[in-house]
């Protein structure tokens, strides 16, 4: 495992089991999902967003999240995370043994109403009640918040920088352990990523720890570089580039985990992830979702010889 305190360490969080599978037209059977996630852990991925506690009638792909989190938290004592829209979800995640939850708070009022049926600041208040409840429990659980549509919204268009800063500051005051800025629909560009990260960090410092980027416009990895440049050392990504948001029209896949790991490791940064083992996990993903198109350049080209020689 890579030293996660080292200066060149970059943490990669696999969100495919949540962001990816929620968009898949077919439902991956629970045993296949668990086998896939175990393989991801074995490859050295330090954090997995393993599912979401949302109503199964809205997102049937996530109906087995409790079982998946329970199985996975027996395999690892850290890094198993669930998305929860509200306090009830956080309680279910806690009971299932999750090590962390991520609560979506959309910066766009319209997307917030469509995603959680609450306005942005109503949802900030929900975060506060989740934090208070979690802190009163005997076991620790991290409470992260994903600021959706922080770089633009398909429903509302441009999101003002002041608004992103105000929402992030309110979340830091509400006690969130980490604020994640999410480019939910993938409209962000590198200059914007740099500017927004710097502005938010100027207000809340390292509480802004992570970026969640989509590759809608093909700028995903360029946006990662901009994030690195602005001091971010944690990124969400999705195996096979699966992903999107059922409540944000126009959102397409996340940045591809395999390609992200290739880029970071090739640059001399350390993820602790074995790319070859990660490619084996991708086989399990494809077997669990036959017919689902997966993206990724490493999968097309193979791991180049120069990469293997560098690692040897």
State the catalytic residues. 245
Nearer to Zn ion, 19 or 64 (CB): 19
53-73 residues labelled b (16+ CB within 10 A) or e (exposed):
bbeeeebebbebbbebbbbbb
The least distance separating Zn ion from the CB of residue 311, rounded to whole angstroms, comes to 30
Number of residues that bind Zn ion (CB under 5 A): 1
For residue 106, the SS3 value is strand
Question: Helices in the chain by DSSP H: which ranges?
Answer: 30-42, 65-75, 87-96, 109-116, 120-135, 161-173, 190-204, 220-229, 257-266, 275-288, 297-301, 305-311
**Taking contact as CB under 5 A, which single stretch among the options 11-19, 185-193, 215-223, 260-268 is the one that binds Zn ion?**
11-19
259 sits near Zn ion (criterion: CB under 5 A): no
The least distance separating Zn ion from the CB of residue 192, rounded to whole angstroms, comes to 17
Instruction: Tally the residues of the chain.
Output: 312
Residues 16 to 45: which contact Zn ion by CB under 5 A?
A: 19
Nearer to Zn ion, 22 or 128 (CB): 22
What sign results for the dihedral spanned by CA atoms 177, 104, 113, 148?
positive
Residues 54 to 73: which contact Zn ion by CB under 5 A?
A: none
CB 37 within 8 A of CB 13: no
The least distance separating Zn ion from the CB of residue 15, rounded to whole angstroms, comes to 7
The least distance separating Zn ion from the CB of residue 186, rounded to whole angstroms, comes to 9
CB 136 within 8 A of CB 92: no
Nearer to Zn ion, 19 or 258 (CB): 19
Q: What is the x/- site pattern for Zn ion, positions 155-184, by CB under 5 A?
A: ------------------------------
**Taking contact as CB under 5 A, which single stretch among the options 12-20, 40-48, 69-77, 200-208 is the one that binds Zn ion?**
12-20
Name 301's Cβ contacts closer than 8 Å, sequence gap at least 6. none
Site residues, Zn ion (CB under 5 A): 19
């Amino acid at each position: 495992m890579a030293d996660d305190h080292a200066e060149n360490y970059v943490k990669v969080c696999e969100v495919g089991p949540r962001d990816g599978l929620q968009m898949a037209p077919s439902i991956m059977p629970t045993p296949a999902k668990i086998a896939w996630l175990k393989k991801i852990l074995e490859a050295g991925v330090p954090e997995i967003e393993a599912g979401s506690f949302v109503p199964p009638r809205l997102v049937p792909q996530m109906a087995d999240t409790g079982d998946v989190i329970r199985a996975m938290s027996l395999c690892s004592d850290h890094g198993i995370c669930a998305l929860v829209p509200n306090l009830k979800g956080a309680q279910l995640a806690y009971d299932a043994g999750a090590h962390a939850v991520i609560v979506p708070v959309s910066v766009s009022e319209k997307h917030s109403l469509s995603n959680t049926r609450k306005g942005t600041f109503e949802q900030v208040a929900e975060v506060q009640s989740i934090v208070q409840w979690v802190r009163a429990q005997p076991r620790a659980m991290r409470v992260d918040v994903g600021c959706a549509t922080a770089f633009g919204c398909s429903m509302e268009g441009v999101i003002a920088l002041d608004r992103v800063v105000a929402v992030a500051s309110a979340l830091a005051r509400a006690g969130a352990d980490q604020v994640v800025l999410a480019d939910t629909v993938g409209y962000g560009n590198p200059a914007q990523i740099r500017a927004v990260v710097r502005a938010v960090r100027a207000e809340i410092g390292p509480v802004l720890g992570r970026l969640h980027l989509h590759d809608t416009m093909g700028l995903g990895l360029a946006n990662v570089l901009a994030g690195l440049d602005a001091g971010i050392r944690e990124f969400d990504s999705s195996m096979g580039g699966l992903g999107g948001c059922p409540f944000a029209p126009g959102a397409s896949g996340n940045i591809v985990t395999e390609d992200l790991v290739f880029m970071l490791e090739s640059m001399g940064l350390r993820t602790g992830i074995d790319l070859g083992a990660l490619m084996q996990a991708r086989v399990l993903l494809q077997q669990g979702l036959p017919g689902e198109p997966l993206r990724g350049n490493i999968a097309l080209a193979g791991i180049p010889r120069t990469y293997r020689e560098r690692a040897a």
